[in-house]
Every structure is written in structure tokens, then in C-alpha cells.
Structure 1
Amino acid sequence: MSIKIGKHEIAHPIIQGGMGLGISWDKLAGNVSLNGCLGVISSVGTGYYENLKFAKKSLDGRPYQSENFYSKEALFTIVQNARKICGDAPLGMNVMCAA
């Protein structure tokens, strides 16, 4: 049994949940997609990626302010790295929006 989403087909009906703060980033999501399921990248806490490499400001070892906690540059890098792992396989992203 497979799942079809538009033109994409996922071989195994398994969708990995988007878990924040480094759990579902490039390595996990990319490998899940590579193996025929749907890997989901989390967009939460990307400022922590690669030991705060993309956070322009940090305080006490944590990204300081929202623009550093949610690093756009880190998220782009995470997606690029996941694509290096899974190629053109379907890949999802969990973007949390809370009021």
C-alpha cells in the first residue's frame, strides 16, 4: 500500500512527525524519505542548528530573540542537507504558527 499526494507517491504509508529543536531536521527527515516514507522537517528552533552557527545573537548558550531562534538561513541549510540525503523523494516541513 502506498500514499499518493499529487504527483508524488510514498511507498510506505508512514509519515514521520515534525519534532522540534533538532529532532526532525536534515538527518532524520532525509533518511525517512530516502527509505520510502515521508520525512518531515521541523522549522522550530533552527537557531540551534550546528551549535548556534546561524544565530547572530545568543545569550547564555541560547539563540537570543525570535529572529535568531527561528533562523531562516539555518532552515534553508537543513532543507538542502536533507535533499542531499533523499534526492527527489517527497519531503515535508512542519511550520508551527502559534498566536
Structure 2
Amino acid sequence: MSLQTIDESRFTEWMGSSDIAVLEFGAEWCPPCKALLPILDHLAEEYGGVVRFAKVDADDSPELASQFGVMSMPTVILFKDGQPVDKLVGLRPKDVYRNVIDRRLARV
């Protein structure tokens, strides 16, 4: 499975009615971003249709990155009901992402 890539024009549609969504901001040239993608792919499989996952190339969508205050890559933002609620900057172990998602799912 590969994460869907979205940009400014598709962000609202992608966000849709998802209670919990995870959006990764990265770039093609960023080694930690490349290392993060398999982790997020695996989590996307684990959480099936419960959590929505996608990625944004910050170089191709600078306005979207700016809108969410992305200053470093990778940055992962977790949304609940369309609002950003958690931001993880830098590459973290898979369990860190899983724990943040699980904490928010418990409050859904």
C-alpha cells in the first residue's frame, strides 16, 4: 500500500468526514521522510478505514505546509474532526505514532 499524495486542491475533499486523519508533510529529497513512509503505510493498513492517511510534498504545496506551520520535515499532523490536534516533528518510532492515534481514537 502506498499513501495517497494530496495538495491544496484536494485537501478539503481528502479530509472529508473522517473523524481521525493523519497527514505527513515531507519532500522527495528528505531521507527521514523516506524512512517514515513505510511506517505510515503499515499504520494505514493497521487502522484500515478507521483512520485516514495521506502525504503532502511540502515543496509542491508550500501554502498547505505554511497553513499548518510546517517548519521541518517530516512533520506529521493528526486531525480530529477536521482540526489539527497533534503535531509530531521529525522521524519517530512507529509506537509513538500509534500511541498518538490510539489516544485520539479513545476520545472519539
Larger RCO (CA within 8 A; separation ≥ 6): 2
Instruction: Report the structure, 1 or 2, having the larger strand content.
Output: 2
| TM-score, normalised via structure 2 length | 0.26
Q: Which has the higher helix share?
A: 2
TM-score normalized by the length of structure 1: 0.27
